[in-house]
Amino acid sequence: MSKAPFDASALHDKFDRFDHARLPERVVNARGAGAHGYFQAYESMASLTRADFLREQGRRTPVFVRFSTVSGFRGSSDLARDVRGFAVRFYTEEGNYDLVGNNMPVFFIQDAMTFPDLIQAAKPDVNNEMPQAATARDAYWEFISRMPESMHMIMWAMSDRAIPRSYRMMEGFGVHTFHLVNAAGERRFVKFHWKPVLGLHAVTWDEAIKISGNDPDFHRRDLFDAIEAGDFPEWEFGVQVVDEKDRHAFDFDLLDPTKLIPEEVVPVRRIGKLVLDRNPQNYFAETEQVAFHPGRVVPGIDLSDDPLLQGRVEAYARAQTLRLGRDDGHRLPINRDRNPPSEHRRPRSDGHGAYSETFLDHFTQARMFLHSQSEAEYNHICHALEFELGKVAAPAVRERMLFMLAQVDEDMAASVGRGLGMPVPRKGTAPPHRRIPARDVPVSPALSMVSDRKHGIATRKVAVLLADGYDRTDLALLREALVAGGAWVKIVAPQLGAILSHHDTVEADFSFRTGDSVLFDAIYIPGGRKSVDALKRHVEVDDFIRDSWRHCKAIAASGAGVELLAALPGGMSVAAKWRTVHGVVATTGKASEAMAAGFVQAIASGRHWIRETLA
């Protein structure tokens, strides 16, 4: 039997497809997750903008959204302390519109000229490519210590906002000031917001570290699973609108990307909702090949003279050309206009290029953000700064940072200094910068994640710890209440497979080898003597409960299950009648509907931060 003739052309074509199955990695926002959905307008905004997708109440516009971490490589963890990208593409009747934002409303720098320096400082060291997706290093803080304009963003980056519980539970912001233009040509400044329907939730730093070991794809999996389960993520779209004549009516410049408009000064008007209801079918062709561009606008939305925004327009165009090719990128299905643009869309700026003296006020809004936090949130910022600066080897960098922090708040600087074993210097060692001292301004409750607490448990993951012989009636009662509230109830047992109780069985979703408390939002331990005795033989159960307490999560137990809570700080004085103490709901008797309702409320209340103050 003779061999078929060698077909060099076919081999060439096959290897060509193989070699082009990857793209050059994004320099920033490399690690991402995407989803399809729609935007629906609540009302007509024709009085403010001629943008087609905002002019008609109830109109639905297809969208594609990409979430991302910023500094890490594609293979890094979802739980890095980092800004999260929040980019939305609207496939409008007038062509594509890209709103390319973050989960924080401000940025590190005021001018795009220093953007490459910022990103390079956040990348791993060139000699050993360490650390990955982490800023706890000399080069990063060396850069920040010489950039006072970064201090407002540093407060955000060191806050719990930098370690969100889920993409579905974080805000999004356009960051920059844009323009809305109506049919009469009237122009107004606008800031864009995305408000999560599920509210704002974060993890603790200890959780973030452990989640990275348990499931580095935690955020991506969470988004994918929610959509597959039909629990479609939703955000409300909001705007802060300011007349052009009022640009200088504030004590900050609207064109400064390191400043925000407090919601108490200009309320956010919610004008529509974003719903993500379909996962990509091909990650590479959709999430990886999508190319966002902040200069891609539609009639009725224009750019401002924000200096960072103007630089991003140039930088994104160049980056996408290098990554996808000059001619082919916009023809890819995910990037193609669904409808031909109705007119040539060249973004225009406002012509207000003169920036006010307030561009030099780098500390007032940083102080406002810090003072707007709850006590727990304030402490988390101090602890994050201690960790980051504690990894810095150069004493001079730590000294400069302590001096900079003192310009924001002396008490914070002193707290961080104690953790570093260093006094706060009275004078800065960096070259003098022209800057305005921080002023005390009213706090903004909207800046605290605690103030945004939502009283619901939809899609919250609850772990039920049990073994053979569990109390089936207690489980059934609690499970019914949790599922009714929209929670995801998962069984965690010594082994996978069927777990028995008299004539009933449940299937374990996780074993103690595959399920850790950091993957859940709350835990419940039903009674049943045989089950509880079996759990006592597994050291993982003690770790599960102790970490849930340490991370301030809701905990419930009934019957013999309360015995597993005895080692919690302060001890649990539990009676037959159920009671709640610091988010722990327990009874030595049978579970009841009232107890189940108490557990639901404990979960809905968010983290029980008071535990951080207990011994």
Each residue's pLDDT tens digit, 206-265: 999 999 999 999 999 999 999 999 999 999 999 999 999 999 899 999 999 999 999 999
The Cα 490–Cα 522 span in angstroms is 10
End position of a domain, from candidates 425, 451, 477: 451
**Contact assessment for residue 369 and residue 440, using Cβ atoms and an 8 Å cutoff:** no
Q: Which of 451, 475, 490 is the last residue of a domain?
A: 451
DSSP 3-state helix, strand, coil percentages of the chain (rounded to 5)?
Answer: 35, 20, 45
Kindly state whether residues 182 and 266 are assigned to the same domain.
Answer: yes
| Across 29-37, average pLDDT | 96
515 against 567, higher pLDDT: 515
Residue 359 lies in a domain: no
Report if residue 93 sits inside a domain: yes
Q: What is the pTM of this model?
A: 0.93
The residue among 417, 451, 485 that closes a domain is 451
- Classify residue 347: in a domain, yes or no: no
Does the residue 151 lie in any domain?
no
Residues 315 and 183 in one domain: yes
Read off the pLDDT of residues 87-110 as tens digits, 9 standing for 90 and up: 999 999 999 999 999 999 999 999
pLDDT in tens, 435-479: 789 999 999 999 999 987 667 999 999 999 999 999 999 999 999
Q: Using one digit for the tens of pLDDT, what is the confidence trace for 121-158?
A: 999 888 888 888 899 999 999 999 999 999 999 999 99
Burial class (CB in 10 A: 0-12, 13-18, 19+), 233: buried
Q: Which residue has the higher pLDDT, 574 or 100?
A: 100
275 and 385: one domain? no
Average pLDDT of the residues in 108-114: 94
Label each residue of 412-449 as H, E or C: HHHHHHHHHCCCCCCCCCCCCCCCCCCCCCCCCHHHCC
Examine the pLDDT at 576 and tell me if it is beyond 80. Answer: no
Per DSSP, the three-state class of 578 is coil
- Number of structural domains, the chain? 3
* pLDDT at residue 286, as a whole number: 96
Report yes or no on 352 lying in a domain. no
Residues 304, 325, single domain; the answer is yes
pLDDT band at residue 5 using 50, 70 and 90 as cut-offs: low
pLDDT in tens, 266-284: 999 999 999 999 999 999 9
Nearest-CA neighbor of 304 among 194, 181, 148?
181
Q: Give a yes or no: residue 80 inside a domain.
A: yes
Q: Are residues 89 and 179 in the same domain?
A: yes
Structural domain including 540 reads 455-613
Residue given tokens 């000031």 in the structure block: 177
429 or 45, greater pLDDT: 45
**CATH number, position 480:** 3.40.50.880
pLDDT value, residue 574: 61
pLDDT band (50, 70, 90) for residue 344: very low
Residue 468 domain-assigned (yes or no)? yes
On the question of pLDDT at 351 being above 60, the answer is no
Q: What's the CA dihedral at 421, 427, 431, 437 to 10 degrees?
A: 110
Single out the residue of 588, 514, 582, 529 nearest to residue 558, CA to CA: 588
pLDDT at 14 over 80: no
Q: How far apart are the first and last CA of the chain?
A: 82
Which percentage of the chain shows pLDDT scores above 90? Answer: 81
Name the least confident of 17-31, 220-234, 243-257, 501-515: 17-31
In this structure, what CATH number is given to the domain that contains residue 413?
1.20.1370.20
Mean pLDDT, rounded, for 571-580 = 68
Q: Quick one: 74 and 205 in the same domain? A: yes
One domain, residues 429 and 535: no
C-alpha distances (whole Å) from 380 to each of 206, 301, 445 are 11, 38, 17
In a domain, 100, yes or no: yes
User: Do residue 176 and residue 302 come from a single domain?
Assistant: yes
In a 10 Å sphere around its CB, with 0-12 CB exposed, 13-18 middle and 19+ buried, how is residue 251 labelled?
middle
- 403-413: average pLDDT: 97
Q: Looking at residue 345, what is its pLDDT? A: 52
Average pLDDT over residues 533-538: 96
Q: Are residues 317 and 205 in the same domain?
A: yes
Strands, sheet with 584-587, edge to edge from the N-terminal-most edge strand: 510-511, 488-493, 461-465, 522-525, 554-558, 584-587, 579-581
Using pLDDT thresholds of 50, 70 and 90, give the confidence band for residue 481. Answer: very high
Tens-digit pLDDT profile for residues 60-79: 999 999 999 999 999 999 99
- In this structure, what CATH number is given to the domain that contains residue 261? 2.40.180.10
Whether residues 603 and 542 share a domain: the answer is yes
- Cα-based angle 277, 282, 283 (whole degrees, multiple of 5): 85
Residues 6+ away with beta carbon under 8 Å from 57: 41, 42, 43, 44
Does the pLDDT of residue 391 top 90, yes or no?
Answer: yes
Same domain, 97 and 226: yes
pLDDT at 433: 58
Side chain identity at residue 543, one-letter code: D
Buried b (16+ CB within 10 A) or exposed e, 76-114: bbbbbbbbbbbbbbbbbebbbbbbbbbbbbbbbbbebeb
The dihedral through the CA atoms of 205, 208, 213, 216 has a sign that is: negative
Q: Is the pLDDT of residue 26 over 70?
A: yes
Say yes or no to pLDDT of 335 above 80: yes
* Cα maximum dimension of the chain: 89
Same domain as 436, residue 396: yes
